[in-house]
Amino acid sequence: MPSLRDIKKRITSVQSTKQITRTMEMVATAKIRRATDRIVAATPYAMAMVEVLESVASRTSGQESPLLAHHEQIKRVAVIAVVSDRGLAGGFNSNVLRAVDKFITAQKAEGIECDLITCGKKAAAYFNYRNMPVTLAFRDRSADPDYDQAREIASMVIDGYVNNRIDQVVIFYNHAKNVADQVLTSEVILPIDKVAFHEVGEGEATAVYMDESAKAAAAGAAAKMSEARASAEKVSSAEEMAGEFEYEPSPAAVLNELLPTYVETRIFHALLDSAAGEQGARRKAMKSATDNATEMVTTLNRVYNRARQGAITTEITEIVGGAAALED
């Protein structure tokens, strides 16, 4: 049985760890609100983009844009893996990395090559360790992604898709379902499906955390979106009465200008969603670690008290035995 000093040192060590995990939990909790606010702020623009694209696409056949055209044969796929730069977030990173690894393995079994784009240090380290070449890597931006990152990724995949070097673009990330749960999500970014316009809009509207700290912000955003929809409906009714829009030089040309921005928006939304999910996953992991540390301290204190009680009992027994021996 360990000595009282060893047990005491163990208790002190666990208490120090508990302070660290508790602090990290509070930091992640504070960052969740900021990540939520960024999603709420990005939602109106994304919704407006979806509505404009739906309006323009309805006036074209869609065949004029190379981003809407499906390639007859898929020979090369661009895979975007979005994870975090740091660990201590439970299975947040491993779920995405395993899914991407499995997807690439399945594609190679069918003779399809893959170009890998990683967002987050953990993804680059994972695939480099497995000797899987990374075409483009981003680091130190997972907790606070910027639009330039999405623009750079979109520019690369769009150029490859238009010039037939890439036949499909797929992105893997963790969707922040709520403050505690993340859902592994994979989306086909290119070719663009017209149905996806509406789906992304709804996804961005529901990707907001609904914890107590964000309910007010979410409710405010929902109210603004409802007002915007109502205003849009009024404008649409007025437009129907006034006549059709005229596009210069043509609806197809306007659509071709908007589609790259739409791709950037989808990628940026995935980065924001993953950033929010990262903080939620880290908060959950650190809370679990803190609870485990509390339970361990309680158990160690119980062991310490029992060992101390046993030592005292042994000392009393030895004293009584010595006194009895002296009397004899």
- Is 47 or 187 the better-scoring residue by pLDDT? 187
| Residue 12 scores a pLDDT above 60 | yes
Contact 67, 251 (CB under 8 A): no
What are the tens digits of pLDDT across the range 58-109? 776 656 678 888 888 889 999 999 999 888 888 889 999 999 999 999 999 9
For residue 253, count other CB atoms closer than 10 A to its CB: 15
| Residue 206 pLDDT | 36
Q: Strand, helix or coil at 26?
A: helix
- Which domains occur in the chain, in start order? 4-23+286-321 (1.10.287.80), 30-281 (3.40.1380.10)
Dihedral-angle region of residue 131 (phi above 0 means left; psi in -120 to 50 means alpha; beta otherwise): left
Greatest Cα pair distance in the chain:
119
Coil, strand or helix at 69? coil
In the predicted model, what is the mean pLDDT of residues 23-38?
Answer: 84
Q: Are 123 and 142 in contact (CB under 8 A)?
A: no
pLDDT-based confidence at 230, cuts 50/70/90?
A: low
Token code pair at residue 115: 């170009």
**Is pLDDT of 225 > 50?**
no
Do the Cβ atoms of 172 and 82 come closer than 8 Å? yes
Tell me which of 17-26, 228-237, 259-268 is least confident: 228-237
Pick from 82, 87, 78, 155: nearest CA to 113: 78
Residue 114: per-residue pLDDT: 92
Nearest alpha-carbon partner for 53 in 289, 260, 320 = 260
> Is pLDDT of 275 > 70?
yes
pLDDT 10s digits, 119-138:
999 999 999 998 888 989 99
Alpha-carbon gap, residue 108 to 126, rounded angstroms: 18
Q: How far is CA 97 from CA 87, 181, 230, 266, in A?
A: 13, 18, 42, 20
For the chain, the distance separating the N- and C-terminal CA atoms, rounded to the nearest angstrom, is 34
**pTM of the full predicted structure?**
0.74
Q: Using the predicted structure, report yes or no on whether residue 197 has a pLDDT greater than 70.
A: no
Angstrom distance (rounded) from CA 67 to CA 65? 5
pLDDT bucket at 31, cuts 50 / 70 / 90: confident
Quote the tokens at residue 310: 């046993």
Question: Average pLDDT of the chain?
Answer: 79
